[in-house]
């Protein structure tokens, strides 16, 4: 693992343990590092409101990230920024579209402005991108409901998440096994269990292909 990859890996482990644990189930080193790059980008966006005290300052930082997407998708990222440099390589390697990245940043700006939580932008789009990185194109529909289960769980709407789980699992039958680590964290319905139990739950989810 390169120094940059190790740095991003540690950042994701600290910021997003559930998805970091699910990334451990990706056998290929390059694919795992790509997944971590996506999660590091999301973690950087999520951390902004915890590091500034004024909504206007948070919005300014999100605007900065939105502007940096020009360089990322043109292949000329800001030099010396590990997330942006790694994201630029990832976008080029997998031919990723910009729309979901812009939608995620816009959703964060909306959150700062106290607008309704955009589940699709926060959870569906990112999971679809992660699945494409691991399994290629053509699997967006297979993971849409699983992503919504994850989003509903993360926003405290666990009863709604539980009611959608059967539909999500039916759709996940169409997902190739190599793509499932991008989805497995949706199986974690309780944030409190110790890490070893989470690891077992994730492994069981991947082995069954169900969340």
What pLDDT, on a 0 to 100 scale, did the predictor assign at position 134? Answer: 97
pLDDT (tens place) for every residue of the chain, 211 residues total: 688 889 999 999 999 999 999 999 999 999 999 999 999 999 999 999 999 889 999 999 999 999 999 999 999 998 889 999 999 999 999 999 999 999 999 999 999 999 988 999 999 999 999 999 999 999 999 999 999 999 999 999 999 999 999 999 999 999 999 999 999 999 999 878 899 999 999 999 999 999 9
Work out the number of other CB atoms within 10 angstroms of the CB of residue 141. 11
CA 187 to chain centre: 15
What pLDDT, on a 0 to 100 scale, did the predictor assign at position 1? Answer: 63
Cβ contact 207:26 at 8 Å: no
Greatest Cα pair distance, the chain, in angstroms, is 46
What pLDDT, on a 0 to 100 scale, did the predictor assign at position 187? Answer: 97
What pLDDT, on a 0 to 100 scale, did the predictor assign at position 150? Answer: 97
Distance from C-alpha of 111 to C-alpha of 1, rounded to nearest angstrom: 35
Residue with tokens 């990230």: 65
Nearest alpha carbon to residue 149 among 177, 127, 173: 127
């Amino acid at each position: 693992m390169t120094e940059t990859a190790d740095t991003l890996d540690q950042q994701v482990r600290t910021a997003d343990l559930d998805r970091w644990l699910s990334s451990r189930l990706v056998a290929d080193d390059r694919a795992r590092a790509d997944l971590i790059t996506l999660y590091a980008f999301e973690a950087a966006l999520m951390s902004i409101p915890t590091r500034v005290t004024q909504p206007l300052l948070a919005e300014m930082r999100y605007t900065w990230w939105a502007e940096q997407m020009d360089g990322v998708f043109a292949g000329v990222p800001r030099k010396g920024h590990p997330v942006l440099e790694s994201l630029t390589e990832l976008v080029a390697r997998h031919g990723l579209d910009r729309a979901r990245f812009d939608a995620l940043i816009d959703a964060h700006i909306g959150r700062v402005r106290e607008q309704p939580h955009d589940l699709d932008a926060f959870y569906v789009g990112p999971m679809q991108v992660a699945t494409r990185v691991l399994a290629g194109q053509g699997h967006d529909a297979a993971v849409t409901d699983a992503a919504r289960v994850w989003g509903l769980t993360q926003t405290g709407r666990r009863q709604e998440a539980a009611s959608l789980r059967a539909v999500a699992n039916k759709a996940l039958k169409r997902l190739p096994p190599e793509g499932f680590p991008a989805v497995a964290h949706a199986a974690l319905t309780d944030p409190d269990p110790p890490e070893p139990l989470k690891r077992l739950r994730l492994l069981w989810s991947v082995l069954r292909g169900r969340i």
